[in-house]
Structure 1
């Protein structure tokens, strides 16, 4: 429920096209809540007035990129609002260039655009989004950087070498996440190459690149400010073993890097080409140079038997390890269960592996050792059946911190699911279970999936566990990252 203060702020911004004349007399502590109300209601002009008079050194966007209004997602309005703020920042820097030493109302030094809800993040599609997205905000920031660079060069050229020294304006730092694909590559490359002059400095926290060439990725990594980068997400880039072996050494200059995601990189150890024999070992050694790494996603890379070479050089324990559809062998899981990682893992994804008897046994060893730390576990499409579920129950019951369990794509009966529900009720933090449709629903004349959902929900309600959600929907159920930046 909105506070009375916020409701009042929404009323103010809805009854005024501009607040410029009244802002000088407004107490500074009203600015953040007016900004939040104007952003939620899509008041772009008022946002520009607020930025032009912003009384604080920092402005951080509220987390409401997907705010609803009359039941409709307003992504397009949010995009316009973000662009309006960036345009006003450009305007303020332009005025500072034209009028050095001017008495400006704007005291802004840092614009924080991180943590905006991304309307395209769930699919990370290479399509150009129309609403709020990292892609659109990245393009807006790049355009702003190029425009400011143009203004800077124009006004700097007005001062001859023997004239009075010209005082550079204070400038503004942009803290943001960047998302680049083949469409936006050119403008982002140019902005990073000529930017970071101090007047408009782009500091990237999370860098995403999709469907870029090897040269394009290497170029952008060279231009990024090495300070503050915490996550690199490279997917659908068709890098292969040789490409990754060239990209990963570049990451050692980012001393704060904690998260690396490189799924769908076309890595297949069974198809090593001539000259790639040492590529896997180079990848492992490069990962070992990332001293603060806590999260790795290697999804859809065929790594059969090579996990020791890839993870064996890491010097600190991982908190999140995603190895979905990686064609792992029992020896890979055996290696993992003997490392220091298993005692610190909060998130583990082993989806897409067929659990043979030997693979299942080594997984049990790994689960036993990681049970005290595990928060998020995904075992999608692993060909698990009722006997597997019964064997895993005692281990699941020891996972006292478990919050999310993904089991869809497996083969369980309704009775096995009911028994599992009953015996995991004592897990204090378990809040979401994504289960597969029972075998009975797949029979020619069987149970209705809605009946299954209703019965499981009613059982949870009768047992007083309304805080636990059981659903067969894998997506759109509010799954949150357990590993944050």
Structure 2
């Protein structure tokens, strides 16, 4: 990746932290962005903290989409950023008002030292609670200073009152023959008495004011009220990852009233009940939530029917993903028709839905009931491990979603001669819009893929194609690559290891699970396949097309 002169200079500037006191004061505001980017890429947490603590603009966005090969920000840099945000709150000159961390986190267990979604969520919630506690401590210190000031004022008034009484006593014991002086002294005593009365009034007002300030402070600490808790200084936008371990902390942060206000753009929940999901949704503003991802939660049919109406309160919601949620429709299931109607009505209320992912829900033959109720056509549809029937694919190829699909995942659904006409019709309908297609583990043999290749080649907008874990021969793979090089938009092809690369003993035909676990032959055979496929690329001049058989590290999101 080529670096501009500004980025190269920024890397050099942030490389030496000891010199930061000399250059920070002279940096113009428009250079803070390149310097912060250089500090992140060079893993300089101290520089990150100093830049963020002095951030001159109203908004700061860290995260978002990264280019292929660009690493996520280091964990230490993210922690330095969050600490700098809390420190900056004590500076009245701090300009930051919006902190956008959406898209920053990586999946737990990813390569490098990037901060995962769960860790980042916990750190954000801790930052929000600590900021409120710090603001309360500052408020208590200010109240204590105010109390001391009034105490000093009271002591001063007490001293003045005692001095006035002493002067009155001294004048009363003086020369009584000097009537003029006595008259003058009497006038002074009257003046002193009046001053004493005024001092009492001022003292009473001071005590009342102090009691009022103390009462406000106590109400702010106990009930969440008070001036500091009602004024939001920075709105923090992020994607939240909530499970049973972080649920209480997230709820506390969302309820916290303080200088930092946590907002959620994308909510991912794992292994929590519908009632807990309801509680989270009640704490989120209706505007701003664009997606929800529910994983490994035993919703069941009734839980899903309860969840869908709750989502209709979020008008910006355009993505719903349900994975491993323990849904299983069987023919002998009592009340199945009524339950499906409830689910259909719930989906019909999601007016803005554009992405729907239903993974491993086991809903064979029910695709029409679910998708036909959606008011708007989908752009992204993910249906892996759904046990789809020929009737499901036949409906999908003729539905109002077909012509608008940009991403389609049919992985691990069996494709055979009965489903082939529907698949070809579906590819014809999506030929001008489809950009990402996954048919991994669909049982495509040489014969089926040969019949499907012309339809795949007609997808003019296709950028990525995944065909891993299909039992194809090496000759069929060569034909596949020859077809791929004629697709100008295609940038990434995930191909399966050919059957010749596996050790003997596979079934005929083997399943995708067997292909995933079966040992491969020696490396020389794999290199033979790779060299033959790369030769096709070289002969066609397609240096922009990436071929890979690395199923576990394949990521279509890196494709431009």
TM-score bucket of the superposed structures, by smaller chain: 0.7 to 0.9
The answer to whether structure 1 residue 250 and structure 2 residue 238 are counterparts is: no
Query: In the alignment, which residue of structure 1 is the partner of 2:88?
Result: 92
Q: Compared with structure 1, are the counterparts of its residues 133 and 482 closer, same or farther at alpha carbon in structure 2 (3 Å cutoff)?
A: same
* Distance in 1 separating the partners of 2:131 and 2:56: 22
* Distance in 1 separating the partners of 2:557 and 2:35: 29
Unaligned runs of 5+ in 1: 97-101, 124-128
Q: Compared with structure 1, are the counterparts of its residues 121 and 480 closer, same or farther at alpha carbon in structure 2 (3 Å cutoff)?
A: farther
Q: Compared with structure 1, are the counterparts of its residues 380 and 208 closer, same or farther at alpha carbon in structure 2 (3 Å cutoff)?
A: same
Query: In the alignment, which residue of structure 2 is the partner of 1:467?
Result: 544
Q: Compared with structure 1, are the counterparts of its residues 246 and 270 closer, same or farther at alpha carbon in structure 2 (3 Å cutoff)?
A: same
Q: Which residue, 292, 307, 328 being the options, matches 2:388?
A: 328
Say which SS state the counterpart of residue 268 (structure 2) adopts: strand
Q: Compared with structure 1, are the counterparts of its residues 391 and 160 closer, same or farther at alpha carbon in structure 2 (3 Å cutoff)?
A: farther
Q: Compared with structure 1, are the counterparts of its residues 316 and 160 closer, same or farther at alpha carbon in structure 2 (3 Å cutoff)?
A: farther
TM-score relative to the length of structure 2: 0.76
The answer to whether structure 1 residue 452 and structure 2 residue 529 are counterparts is: yes
Q: Compared with structure 1, are the counterparts of its residues 462 and 455 closer, same or farther at alpha carbon in structure 2 (3 Å cutoff)?
A: same
Q: Compared with structure 1, are the counterparts of its residues 294 and 161 closer, same or farther at alpha carbon in structure 2 (3 Å cutoff)?
A: farther
Q: Give the CA deviation at 1:113.
A: 0.9
Contact 1:324 1:351 in 2 (8 A): yes
Say which SS state the counterpart of residue 402 (structure 2) adopts: helix
| Greater helix proportion | 2
Contact 1:44 1:80 in 2 (8 A): yes
Q: Deviations over 1:62-89 (max 9, x none)?
A: 56999999xxx7x7x8212212222222
Contact 2:491 2:559 in 1 (8 A): no
Q: Which residue, 244, 249, 263 being the options, matches 1:182?
A: 244
Q: Which residue, 415, 428, 431 being the options, matches 1:355?
A: 415
The answer to whether structure 1 residue 215 and structure 2 residue 278 are counterparts is: no
Q: Give the CA deviation at 1:456.
A: 0.4
Query: In the alignment, which residue of structure 1 is the partner of 2:357?
Result: 297
Select between 332-341 and 110-119 the one with higher mean Cα deviation.
110-119
The answer to whether structure 1 residue 140 and structure 2 residue 202 are counterparts is: no
Q: Deviations over 1:109-156 (max 9, x none)?
A: 111112325153879xxxxx9741222221111011112233445566
Q: How many pairs were matched up?
A: 463
Contact 1:375 1:482 in 2 (8 A): no
* Distance in 2 separating the partners of 1:305 and 1:21: 69
Contact 2:105 2:114 in 1 (8 A): no
The answer to whether structure 1 residue 425 and structure 2 residue 485 are counterparts is: yes
Larger Rg: 2
Q: Give the CA deviation at 1:273.
A: 5.6
Contact 1:352 1:379 in 2 (8 A): yes
Contact 1:263 1:298 in 2 (8 A): yes
Q: Give the CA deviation at 1:389.
A: 1.1
* Distance in 2 separating the partners of 1:18 and 1:119: 36
* Distance in 2 separating the partners of 1:356 and 1:119: 35
* Distance in 1 separating the partners of 2:231 and 2:298: 43
Q: Give the CA deviation at 1:265.
A: 1.1
Query: In the alignment, which residue of structure 2 is the partner of 1:111?
Result: 99
* Distance in 1 separating the partners of 2:69 and 2:336: 51
Query: In the alignment, which residue of structure 2 is the partner of 1:126?
Result: none
Contact 2:416 2:444 in 1 (8 A): no
Query: In the alignment, which residue of structure 2 is the partner of 1:366?
Result: 426
Say which SS state the counterpart of residue 396 (structure 1) adopts: helix
Unaligned runs of 5+ in 2: 144-208, 217-225, 505-520
Say which SS state the counterpart of residue 17 (structure 2) adopts: coil
Q: Give the CA deviation at 1:347.
A: 0.9
Query: In the alignment, which residue of structure 2 is the partner of 1:83?
Result: 79
* Distance in 1 separating the partners of 2:65 and 2:419: 44
The answer to whether structure 1 residue 120 and structure 2 residue 108 are counterparts is: yes
Q: Compared with structure 1, are the counterparts of its residues 206 and 160 closer, same or farther at alpha carbon in structure 2 (3 Å cutoff)?
A: farther
* Distance in 2 separating the partners of 1:272 and 1:460: 52
* Distance in 2 separating the partners of 1:64 and 1:387: 39
* Distance in 2 separating the partners of 1:63 and 1:304: 37
Q: Compared with structure 1, are the counterparts of its residues 65 and 443 closer, same or farther at alpha carbon in structure 2 (3 Å cutoff)?
A: closer
Q: Give the CA deviation at 1:319.
A: 0.8
Q: Give the CA deviation at 1:301.
A: 1.0
Say which SS state the counterpart of residue 290 (structure 1) adopts: coil
TM-score relative to the length of structure 1: 0.87
Say which SS state the counterpart of residue 241 (structure 2) adopts: strand
Query: In the alignment, which residue of structure 2 is the partner of 1:99?
Result: none
Query: In the alignment, which residue of structure 2 is the partner of 1:31?
Result: 32
Q: Compared with structure 1, are the counterparts of its residues 410 and 170 closer, same or farther at alpha carbon in structure 2 (3 Å cutoff)?
A: closer
Query: What is the correspondence of 1:37-56 to structure 2 with a 5 Å cutoff?
Result: 37-56=38-57
Query: In the alignment, which residue of structure 2 is the partner of 1:4?
Result: 5
Query: In the alignment, which residue of structure 1 is the partner of 2:221?
Result: none
Say which SS state the counterpart of residue 234 (structure 1) adopts: strand
Say which SS state the counterpart of residue 237 (structure 1) adopts: coil
